[in-house]
A and B are shown apart, each in its own frame.
Chain A
Amino acid sequence: MTSADHQATHDAVKHSQRHEGPQKHIIVFIFSIILTAIAFAAVIAGGVNTAFTVLFLLLMAIIQVLVQMGYWMHLKDRGHMMPIIFMIGGFFVAGTAIVTALYWVWW
């Protein structure tokens, strides 16, 4: 464990010795603000078919969440296979619960 550990640490340092700047994260922030604004605007404007609005809002939310998890929580970085597997697992079970609540609770 010891030598492998040290090797891994040294590799990690070499790979990411350059410090990333804040630009990328500010872009993600602006992108999130825009997605949020579009979602609010779609609801305030109204007039469009409800089913379409619902799908559109969910799409905006999912894109925003994916971008934030990728960049701000570093899921897009190397060495995040296990976190990705377990997050997908969590969202999958959450999704089954939600689908159930929508279709199989009232009839």
Chain B
Amino acid sequence: MSTTHAETVDGALPHEPEKATLEGRNKVLSFWLFLGGEAVLFGTLFATFLALRNQTNEGPTANELFSFTTTALATLILLVSSLTSVFAVQAMHRHNVAKLRVWLIVTVILGLGFLGLEIYEFSEYVIAEKFGMTTSAFSSAFYTLVGFHGAHVAFGVLWISVLIGQLFKKGLTVVTAPKVYVSAMYWHFIDVVWVFIFTVVYLLGKVG
């Protein structure tokens, strides 16, 4: 623990600044542990959805609701944003703070785009299709699963925005670097969950 500070005043930033301090390494490791727990969280939500996917209570079915265009667009946005956050971490490893900030800003914009699309999609379902939380067991499960993912995206957007501010104010240090790395992990994980959502919820919903 006594090394934490010695390394910040060392001058030159190491190649992987997120792993320079014990604190940073602890953060990255624990975030992996947290993601293990998140896998169970989303797994249970998927399980609920799969158990209730055909319980439409005479309301709209998956096949009637979902459109390929919206799903494909949302998927593309999130996939690109995952790539831009990879570029952000690469810029961080090169100690290029300006580029790092740009890539993070692009990621946030794409995240906002995804959220906007999702809000539009949900409002279409609620208003035009009369498909709300209380319509059927299927609707409850759908909104809870996809909504939990959407809430994760929203939190990620807020989180990365705060980090962008910190990068402007404090620059890249062994304190800010682990935060950037961990937020990128979080963002990739959101994308990974979305891969399962578009497959299991939307595409399999179309298959029937």
Contact = CB atoms under 8 A, between A and B. Distances in A.
A and B touch in the complex (CB under 8 A): yes
Interface residues of A, number: 53
B68 A44 contact: yes
B166 interface: no
Contact of B51 (A60, A73, A89, A102): A102
A80 B36 CA distance: 13
A89 B203 CA distance: 27
A93 B38 CA distance: 11
Given A50-B207, A64-B195, A86-B36, A97 B86 contact: no
B39 A73 contact: no
16 contacts: A1-B1, A9-B7, A9-B19, A19-B90, A26-B83, A43-B207, A50-B207, A53-B207, A54-B207, A68-B195, A69-B188, A69-B192, A83-B29, A93-B40, A101-B47, A101-B50
Interface string A53-93: 11001101100110011001100000010110011011101
Contact of B86 (A2, A25, A58): A25
B3 A17 contact: no
A90 B36 contact: yes
Given A13-B14, A86-B32, A90-B38, A68 B47 contact: no
Contacts of A12: 14-16, 19
A105 B141 CA distance: 15
Interface in A29-67: 29, 32-33, 36, 39-40, 43-44, 50, 53-54, 57-58, 60-61, 64-65
Contacts of A95: 43
Interface in B165-193: 185, 188-189, 191-192
Contacts, number: 145
Contacts of B35: 86-87, 90
The dominant DSSP class at the B interface is helix
A65 B196 contact: yes
Given A5-B22, A57-B204, A72 B40 contact: no
Nearest to B79: A32
Interface string A1-32: 11001100100110011011010011001001
A33 B72 CA distance: 10
> B79, B83, B90, B189: which has the most chain A beta carbons within 10 Å?
B83
Given A25-B90, A29-B79, A94 B203 contact: no
B134 interface: no
B107 interface: no
A6 B4 CA distance: 11
A100 B51 CA distance: 9
Contacts of B90: 19-20, 22, 25
B161 interface: no
B196 A22 contact: no
Contacts of A80: 32
B32 to A, nearest CB: 4
